[in-house]
Structure 1
Amino acid sequence: MKIKLTTAIFFFAIAFVSCKNEDKKATAVPVEEVKANTFDVIVDLVIKKDDELILFYKDSSINYFDEKNTVYYGLKGKQEPQTITFSIPEGVLPNDIRFDISSKKDQSPIKINSIRLSFEGRTFRVDQKDLLKYFTPNEFITFDESSATATLISKGEKYDPIFNTKQAIYIELEKVRGVKL
C-alpha cells in the first residue's frame, strides 16, 4: 500500500511540474535577438527594377577597394521609396566607402533621397540636396541635382555606375566612428 501511495504521489508531482512547465512555455516572452554592433550605411532610394547594389569599404589596413571588403544588397524594384541597410562586418570601422548603385544595364533612373552613416548611436545624414557635396558620380552616371536622380549609362560593354566619396565626407566618417578630432 505504501508503494502505491508513493507511486501515486510521484505521478501527481510529475503531472503538476509538467503543467507548470507548460504554463511557463505559454507565457514566455520572446527574447529579442541582439544584433552585432555594426557600422551601417543606410540608403533611402527609389529603384524601379530589381537590382543588386554594392557597398565597398576601406579601413586603415587597406589602401584600395577590393572584392573582400564589400557588402551586397539585392532588392526588388518598387515605385515607392525603400530603405536599404549595408551593415559592415562587426569590428570594421571604415575610413572610406564607395557605393555601386546598380548591377543591371537596363535599370531605370534611380532617385536617392538620403544616405545615412550610423554607428553606436552617432549618425550623419546626407540629404538629396547635399549629395554632390559628399559624393561624386562616375562617368556611368548622369546626375540631376535638382531631383537627386541618377540616370545610368553603359558605354559599349562597360557598365559600372559608382558614387565615390569626396573629401568632405571623411570628417563626417570620423565623427560617426567616434574618433576624437
Structure 2
Amino acid sequence: MKTKLILLNLLVIVSLISCKNKEEEKTVEEVKANTFDVIVDLDIKKDDELILFYKDPSISFFDDKNTVYYGVKGKDEPQTIIFSVPEGILPNDIRFDISSKKDQEPVKINSVTLSFEGRTFKIEQKDLSKYFTPNEFIKFDDATGTATFVKEGESYDPYFLTKPAIYPELEKVRGAKM
C-alpha cells in the first residue's frame, strides 16, 4: 500500500512539473535518443509541411527515401520544429525544404541547431547565409532571416542547400574523427 501511495505521489509531482512549461516538455518529448536532430526555430504564419532531406556517405544525391516530414501549424509566435533522422543514420549533408504551400507567407528562420548525443552546433539567424544557400524559389533577407517565396508558373520548390562551411560542423556533431 505504501508503495502505491509513493508511486501516486510521484506521478502527481511529475505531472505538475511537466505541465509547468509546455514548450520545454514538447521539445524534450520530440528529441529522440540516438537520433541526429535538426532543430529549426522559426516564425511561420500558415500551416505547411516542411521536409528535411539527408544524405550519408552511402548516398550520392538527395532522394524521397531519405526524408523527414514535419507538418507544422501556423502561429503568430516563434515555434520550434525537430526533424529526427532515423536512428542509425548520421547525415553528412542536408537540404531543408521550407514550404510546400504556394500561398505561404514569408517565413522567418531564427536559428538552426544540429544535435546528436549531446553534441550541438547552433546557427543563429545572423549566420544562416554562411551555412545555407537558398534556391531560386526563395528571396532571402540576411538581415532579418526572412524567406519570401518566388512562384515561377507551376513550379514551386523552395529549399536551402548547405554550403561547404557546414561540413566540418556536421562532422563534429556526428562525432566523426577528423
**TM-score normalised by structure 1 residue count:** 0.83
* 1:7-60 C-alpha deviation (Å, 9 max, x unpaired): xxxxxxxxxxxx567546635657x99943110000000000000000000001
The residue number in structure 1 matching 2:140 is 143
Deviation (angstroms), 1:113: 0.5
Judged with a 3 Å threshold, the aligned counterparts in structure 2 of structure 1 residues 35 and 144 are, in CA distance, closer, same or farther, namely closer
- The residue identity in structure 2 corresponding to 1:117 is L
Structure 1 residue 173 corresponds to structure 2 residue 170: yes
Structure 1 residue 129 corresponds to structure 2 residue 111: no
Match for residue 63 of structure 2 among 66, 87, 93 = 66
The residue number in structure 2 matching 1:42 is 39
Distance 2:166 2:109 in 1: 17
The residue number in structure 1 matching 2:8 is 26
Distance 1:22 1:148 in 2: 52
Structure 1 residue 104 corresponds to structure 2 residue 101: yes
Distance 1:74 1:136 in 2: 23
Deviation (angstroms), 1:107: 0.2
Query: What secondary structure, in the 3-state scheme, does the structure 1 residue paired with 2:34 have?
Result: coil
Distance 1:21 1:127 in 2: 48
Aligned residue pairs, count:
162
Distance 2:139 2:107 in 1: 11
Distance 1:101 1:35 in 2: 22
Deviation (angstroms), 1:154: 1.3
Deviation (angstroms), 1:79: 1.2
- The residue identity in structure 2 corresponding to 1:115 is V
Structure 1 residue 117 corresponds to structure 2 residue 114: yes
Distance 2:88 2:121 in 1: 19
- The residue identity in structure 2 corresponding to 1:106 is D
The residue number in structure 1 matching 2:18 is none
Name the Cα RMSD after superposition: 1.9
The residue number in structure 2 matching 1:83 is 80
| Deviant stretches of 4+, over 2 Å | 19-30, 32-36
Deviation (angstroms), 1:125: 0.9
Query: Any gaps of 5 or more consecutive residues in structure 2?
Result: 15-27
Query: What secondary structure, in the 3-state scheme, does the structure 2 residue paired with 1:131 have?
Result: helix
Query: Any gaps of 5 or more consecutive residues in structure 1?
Result: 1-18
Query: What secondary structure, in the 3-state scheme, does the structure 1 residue paired with 2:45 have?
Result: coil
Query: What secondary structure, in the 3-state scheme, does the structure 2 residue paired with 1:133 have?
Result: helix
- The residue identity in structure 2 corresponding to 1:87 is S
Rg larger in structure: 1
Distance 1:151 1:125 in 2: 23
Distance 1:171 1:20 in 2: 54
**TM-score normalised by structure 2 residue count:** 0.85
